[in-house]
Structure 1
Amino acid sequence: MKKSKFDTFILALFLFIALAYFFPQLYTWEDGKVLSWATTIGVSLIFFFYGLKLSFPQIKAGLKNWRLHLLVQASTFILFPLVLLPFYPLVKSSIQHDFWLSFFFLAALPSTVSSSVVMVSIAKGNIPAAIFNASISGLIGVVVTPLWMQFFMDFGEVAVLGDIYGGLILEIILPVILGLFLQPYWGKWGTKYSKPLNKFDKLVILLIVYASFAESFVSGVFDSIGKSYLILVFLGVVVFFVFVYGLIYLLARYVFKFNREDQITALFCGSKKSLTHGSVFGKFIFSHAAGAGLYFLPLMIYHAFQILVVTIIAQRYASQKK
């Protein structure tokens, strides 16, 4: 069994938060227009390359297992939010609302793409189904995530249909479609250079995280919270992950009665949340929110926690005899 390697991207996330705190000048340069254009172009390229790397034969192979797809997508977009909805009536103050909303934003996001497939592969699960679910989840999220969020936050002057959906379609859907169209010609190139392209993806995410936290630091949002808030966020993420992971396990094994491979895919794809999509979606949803950094906190902690825990679980599955 291979030892899990430390994810340097997690370290980079905290480094860029520190940079945002000590050096917010890049965000304020030219009123943020330079950084905004850089992230916009970067996001479009991320999803263009994503379209290039989609494999139609593998996706087609996974289409038949509709019960598995139903559980994964329902877990991602329905189960996660429903777990948090009973707590909404308990929200009284503005800081409690921001706390709850940051977790609800996490709950409404799609699943990860590459890491879900990698983990399912390590654990010897249903890889074609993982590829299908990971691929379709992000596209569903373009519609569903803003739809969930508009019920619980005031978008102000932001037009949901025009600004948010229009921006997501322009920066995500159209680049993916273009990538799919060019996949027969450039697909091998995208696969060959997948590692450098993944590094480019992470760099763009880091820039978005930097911009969000720099804006929050400049506006003084974090001055109103203390260490207890951060501790509660961390504990909330751990409890949230364990609870939902346990629910999906019970559903996959005892309700849907999946075989071992499908159980693994349901668990890994259904319990994960995408920092890539969260960073991009948040750029539009919280475009006029001074406390955008607060809304990203649970997502970033969840990202780190899910990688650590699921890597360990995947390796345990891999070492088990069928």
Structure 2
Amino acid sequence: MPRPRFLPDNFTLGLLASVALASLLPCQGQTAVWLEHLTQLAIAVLFFLHGAKLSRQAVVAGMTHWRLHLCVLAATFVLFPLLGLVLQPLLQTLTTPALALGVLYLCLLPSTVQSSIAFVSVAGGNVPAAICSATASNLAGIALTPLLVGWLLVRGEGGMHAGSASGIVYQLLLPFIAGQVLRPWLGGWVARHKPLLRAVDQGAILLVVYTAFSAAVINGLWHSLPLPALGGLLLTCTLLLALLLLTTTLLGRQLGFNREDRITLLFCGSKKSLASGVPMAKVLFAGQPMGAIVLPLMLFHQLQLMVCAVLAQRLAAAGKQG
């Protein structure tokens, strides 16, 4: 039986349940220590499997359309951070310092892969280019996001500490490289077991969200987070998404891209990856108030899915009429 259009999917319900469980029954003491180790292991396995899944041939084949890929990367790692910085005065007024930090962090993340490609496909865009652009964004994000966090946030209260670099290497980069090296032997198995990868992917995120919000609740997150700040966060995330959708649309027209490439730029250049962002935050902001840092990303993630789902359907209908 098909799911009603506006009913949240199971993963969204899982995220909400994780936040609710952490709010009512936060993990503490030895349980929190064991869950912390389990979370670190899950993140390493997640990046290992992504390394084993990624096809280098797909990246090489798509690199011929370099103008489109550069535009997607520029929107993801230049335009987004600039807007995040420009919106900081508004954020400081409407939200809390931790939420403002979280918004700037989400602006430094790579684009999504699965949802970007899915929306491009539904809307009638250039799917091979979308695969290459989204993949390149995620590959670049493994290096660029930590560098941008260290550069832009190092002076702030949530900046990277000395152990973050080693955490990135051991928890993210080395497992990913190991997966790439073992891809000739494991790639086929991973491709045949996509539900396993999805389970590890979503399970790692749910673990991080639960442990992060548990620590935040124990430290008084909901007591120190006023309702107007949440409203300000929603307004800011909506404005950020609207600006990116508008800018990527205008940029595609200015550069003379055809309809299919404009659709690819629109969807790949306006997304931020929850799957990459939450595990990375666990490493980059170890010891920091993680709950408030990942909350903007979770909210933006839901906004981009709902808005782009409607937009993709409208573009598909317009393409059939044209």
User: Is contact 1:17–1:210 with CA below 8 Å preserved after alignment?
Assistant: yes
What's the counterpart of residue 45 of structure 2? 45
Q: Report how far residue 101 of structure 1 moved.
A: 1.4
Question: 1:15 corresponds to which residue?
Answer: 17
In structure 1, how many angstroms separate the alpha carbons of the residues matched to 2:224 and 2:44?
35
- What residue number does 2:295 align with? 297
Write the distance in 2 (CA, Å) between the matches of 1:141 and 1:81: 13
Maintained 8 Å contact 1:143/1:165? no
C-alpha RMSD over aligned residues: 2.3
| Aligned CA distance change for structure 1 residues 224 and 70 (closer, same or farther; 3 Å) | same
1:242-263 CA-partner distances (Å, limit 9, x unpaired): 1111111101112x11111111
Structure 2: give runs of 5+ residues left out of the alignment: none
Partner of 1:312: 310
Task: Please name the residue that 1:24 is paired with.
Answer: 26
The aligned counterpart of 1:284 is 283
Matched length: 314
Contact 1:49–1:190 (Cα < 8 Å) also in 2: yes
Q: 2-side partners of 1:3 and 1:253: how far apart?
A: 34
1:158 corresponds to which residue? 161
Partner Cα separation in structure 2 for residue 228 and residue 154 of structure 1? 22
Structure 2 matches for 1:1-322, cutoff 5 A?
Answer: 4=5, 6-25=8-27, 28-30=28-30, 32-88=32-88, 96-150=96-150, 151-152=152-153, 153-154=156-157, 158-159=161-162, 163-254=163-254, 256-289=255-288, 291-319=289-317, 320-321=319-320
User: In the alignment, is the contact (CA less than 8 A) between 2:95 and 2:232 conserved in 1?
Assistant: no
Q: Is the 8 A contact 1:233 1:297 kept in 2?
A: no
Deviations 1:159-179 (A, max 9, x none): 0xxx22221222222222222
Q: 1:90 to 1:298 in 2, by over 3 A?
A: closer
Equivalent AA in structure 2 for residue 283 of structure 1: K
Q: Counterpart of 2:231 in 1: which secondary structure?
A: helix
- The CA distance in 1 between the partners of 2:204 and 2:159, in whole Å, is 27
CA distance in 2, matches of 1:56, 1:310: 28
Cα gap change, 1:3 to 1:64, in 2 (>3 Å): farther
Per-residue CA distance 1:111-170 (angstroms, 9 max, x = gap): 1122212222222322222222222222322332233333332457920xxx22221222
Moved over 3 A (4+): 2-6, 87-96, 154-157
Q: Which moved more, 1:104-113 or 1:126-135?
A: 126-135
| Inter-partner Cα distance in structure 2 for 1:94 and 1:304 | 20
Equivalents in 2 of 1:63, 1:217: separation in Å? Answer: 45
CA change 1:86–1:184 in 2 (3 A) is same
SS in 1 for 2:182: helix
* Contact in 2 for aligned 1:111/1:137 (Cα 8 Å): yes
Q: Which amino acid aligns with 2:301?
A: H
CA distance in 2, matches of 1:168, 1:131: 25
Distance 1:41 1:93, change over 3 A: same
- The unaligned stretches of length 5 or more in structure 1 are none
Deviation at 1:99, TM superposition (A): 3.0
For 1:124 and 1:170, the matched residues in 2 are separated by: 40
- Identical amino acids, percent of aligned pairs: 37
